């Protein structure tokens, strides 16, 4: 039973436009969410995170939005650049108890020049 | 500052053989995690060390997997005997505290034939 879902396996966006990657979760106990970016043959690289007490966190071109009532988060990349082409993983964790990350299956983003 | 390192980067073994993967966390990081990604699916948690102690090993698939972290520095993950379904990419991650962001290594790609 997958607790974190990324329903879009792939996404193509023109350079300069906005990329929106979506993630849904089922466990209401999750209180910390992260996005990782992964290039081929490399490990996941931390991108941005958000605590459940917030609904938005911004870092440069990257913004994460959290909608707790819908159990949904999204990553916005504006403007998208060819170097952003990678697989993006959404992850969730609980501050209490275990500290493991629960990952989604990833969305492959391709930014077209 | 050096990141998380993993050795080897690739390993190809035959079913029934033994393989040992090594992870060196970021210096000073007491928390060390092992994850696995199988066949392009989600990245799944295996276990969590705090220094040399196993904090959570709920994700370990079975008793063919043995993880150790002697002295609280580097960690090894041994698979004995390896089965076909053990093929995948094994990632190690580390964090300073359990609530801190986890930083991932490049992974070890294991192929069991």
Write the CB contacts of A26 (distance below 8 Å, at least 6 apart in sequence).
A1, A2, A3, A4, A5, A71
The residue count of chain A comes to 113
pLDDT at residue B72, rounded to an integer: 85
- Mutation pick from A86, A101, A108 vs chain B, by most beta carbons of B within 10 Å, is A101
pLDDT at residue B80, rounded to an integer: 96
C-alpha count within 13 angstroms, C-beta hemisphere, residue A93 = 20
- Are A43 and B59 an interchain contact pair (Cβ–Cβ within 8 Å)? no
Q: Which residues of chain B have pLDDT under 50?
A: none
| pLDDT tens by residue, B67-86 | 999 888 999 999 999 999 99
Facing B106 at nearest CB: one of A32, A42, A105:
A42
| pLDDT tens by residue, B92-101 | 999 998 888 9
Assign A26 a pLDDT band (cuts: 50, 70, 90): very high
């Amino acid at each position: 039973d997958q607790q974190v879902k990324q329903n879009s396996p792939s996404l193509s966006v023109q350079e300069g436009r906005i990329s929106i990657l979506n993630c849904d979760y089922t466990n209401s106990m999750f209180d910390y969410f992260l996005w990782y970016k992964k290039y081929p043959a490399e490990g996941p690289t931390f991108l941005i995170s958000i605590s459940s007490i917030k609904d938005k966190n911004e870092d440069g071109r990257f913004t994460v939005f959290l909608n707790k009532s819908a159990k949904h988060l999204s990553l916005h990349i504006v403007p998208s650049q060819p170097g952003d082409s990678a697989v993006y993983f959404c992850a969730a964790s609980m501050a209490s108890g275990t500290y493991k990350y629960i990952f989604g299956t990833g969305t492959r983003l391709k930014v077209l020049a | 500052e050096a990141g998380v390192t993993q050795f080897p980067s690739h390993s190809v073994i035959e079913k029934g053989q033994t393989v040992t993967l090594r992870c060196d966390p970021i210096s000073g990081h007491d928390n060390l995690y092992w994850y696995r990604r199988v066949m392009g699916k989600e990245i799944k948690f295996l276990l969590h060390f705090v220094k040399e102690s196993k904090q959570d090993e709920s994700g370990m698939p079975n008793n063919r997997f043995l993880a150790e972290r002697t002295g609280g520095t580097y960690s090894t993950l041994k698979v004995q005997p390896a089965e076909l379904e053990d093929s995948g990419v094994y990632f190690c991650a580390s964090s300073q505290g359990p609530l801190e962001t986890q930083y991932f290594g490049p992974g070890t790609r294991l192929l069991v034939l």
